[in-house]
Amino acid sequence: MYSAFKFDKAYTKFSLIIWMTSIFVGLMNGCNECPDEQMNPENQSLTVVSYGGGAYQKSHQIAFCEPFTKYTGRPINSVSWNAEYGKLKSMVASGNVKWNVVEVTAAQFARGKSEGLFEKLTLKPAEGDFLFKSIDDYGIANVYWGTVMAYNSDAFPNKKPQTWRDFFDVKSFPGDRALYDDPRGNLEFALLADGVAIEDLYPIDVDRAFKKLDTIKKEVRVWWSDGTQPVQLLLTNTVQLTSAWNGRIFALETNKDQIGFSWDGAGLELDYWVIPRGAANVSASSRFINFASSAYPLAQQVQMIGYGPVNKKSISLIPKAVAKQLPTYESNWNKAFVVNAEWWSENEEAVKTRWVAWKNQ
């Protein structure tokens, strides 16, 4: 039974003071080890690239970038991107690497590591403080985020849909659907709806998954591509059921009662901080990644966006009412599955080609 994130009352204010002191000392010691980076004015700032802008990038700015600059004196240039793997690969191949730290998906991390796109980190935290698959020589994960099944509560006044089997049951739960326009996740949801157990999802039976998707294809009114769409589709009753990123539901300030969702069969994914091969300031970038992965900054960030921290010590710094809404909370985690990044890194191109062809049929 998963129990990594039970509340630890021993992690008190005193622990927080010790943590802040150790972080400061560690950052300062790290700076002293690399005087060449400190003395060259051109190397003072770091360019940190994360997804999409908006609230997510703002959470990085507040929780990571500004405190890091305060502790080290090193400015952070915060840039957004849309996770275009080809762009990162081309930059590394050209030898003209403009970015110091980049946030990539778990599948991109697995692929990029195998293709030699990342620098080896010069500093890593203790693996025992983190959830599994969070720490690697070439990158450190930051958050778990989830794709959940969501619905318009008013459309189902009696029995509410709770599983992907319900999502695919158009007779018991009639209405229009929406799904993310990508095979990753959708194939797994289709298999869960078809009776496959979570522990048997991988390797994915692609033929079986597409066959199951055929059964609701005509009910899928929208193939969404922007994370803001699912919530708006439900609030306007354009569709009655959809997949959605849990953070978007978490961020709702009004009309929360109008949207319901379930952690049952949620697909959880990791994002990773990496340093592109050929980037300047590898040591300073490693220090930034370690800082952004530490307990208190992560606890601050996830309270803004609703994703789950990979650092086990972060959860005790989060109010329980908030922690219960995160993917890594024990009862949520136990109902979900972790998307197999290795399988997708090896099969994504072929499956995406089939996905496009299937949609156009």
Contacts of 293 (CB under 8 A, 6+ apart): 125, 130, 140, 141, 142, 273, 310, 311
In the three-class reduction of DSSP (H, G, I as helix; E, B as strand; rest coil), residue 77 is classed as: strand
Split at pLDDT 50, 70, 90, the class of 267 is: very high
Give the architecture-level CATH label for domain 13-143+270-333: 3-Layer(aba) Sandwich (3.40)
The domain made up of 145-268+339-359 has a fold known as D-Maltodextrin-Binding Protein; domain 2 (3.40.190)
Question: Over the stretch 114-137, which tens digit does the pLDDT of each residue have?
Answer: 999 999 999 989 888 998 789 999
Distance separating alpha carbons of residues 361 and 358, to the nearest angstrom: 5
pTM of the full structure: 0.83
In the three-class reduction of DSSP (H, G, I as helix; E, B as strand; rest coil), residue 269 is classed as: strand
User: What per-residue confidence (pLDDT) applies to 37?
Assistant: 46
**314 has pLDDT over 70:** yes
Tokens 């290795």 label which residue?
A: 342
* AA letter at 293: S
What residues does CATH 3.40.190.10 cover in the chain? 13-143+270-333, 145-268+339-359
Query: Torsions phi, psi of 51, nearest 5?
Result: -70, 135
Q: How large is the angle between the packed helices 206-214 and 183-193, nearest 10 degrees?
A: 80
Q: How many helices (H) and strands (E) does the chain have?
A: 16, 11
5-16 mean pLDDT = 40
Question: Over the stretch 335-359, which tens digit does the pLDDT of each residue have?
Answer: 999 999 999 999 999 999 999 999 9
CB neighbour class for 107 (10 Å; exposed up to 12, middle 13-18, buried from 19)? buried
Q: Are 277 and 116 in contact (CB under 8 A)?
A: yes
CB crowding 8-40: b at 16 or more within 10 Å, else e: eeebeeebbeebeeebeebbeebbeebeebbee
CA 199 to chain centre: 21
Split at pLDDT 50, 70, 90, the class of 4 is: very low
Question: Over the stretch 244-256, which tens digit does the pLDDT of each residue have?
Answer: 999 999 988 778 8
**HSE of 252, CA atoms in CB hemisphere, 13 A:** 23
CB neighbour class for 271 (10 Å; exposed up to 12, middle 13-18, buried from 19)? buried
**237 has pLDDT over 80:** yes
Question: Over the stretch 170-212, which tens digit does the pLDDT of each residue have?
Answer: 999 999 999 999 999 999 999 999 999 999 999 999 999 999 9
Split at pLDDT 50, 70, 90, the class of 166 is: very high
Query: Torsions phi, psi of 211, nearest 5?
Result: -60, -40
CA 307 to chain centre: 7
Tokens 């995160």 label which residue?
A: 326
CA-based nearest residue to 295, from 71, 80, 17, 45: 17
Split at pLDDT 50, 70, 90, the class of 309 is: very high
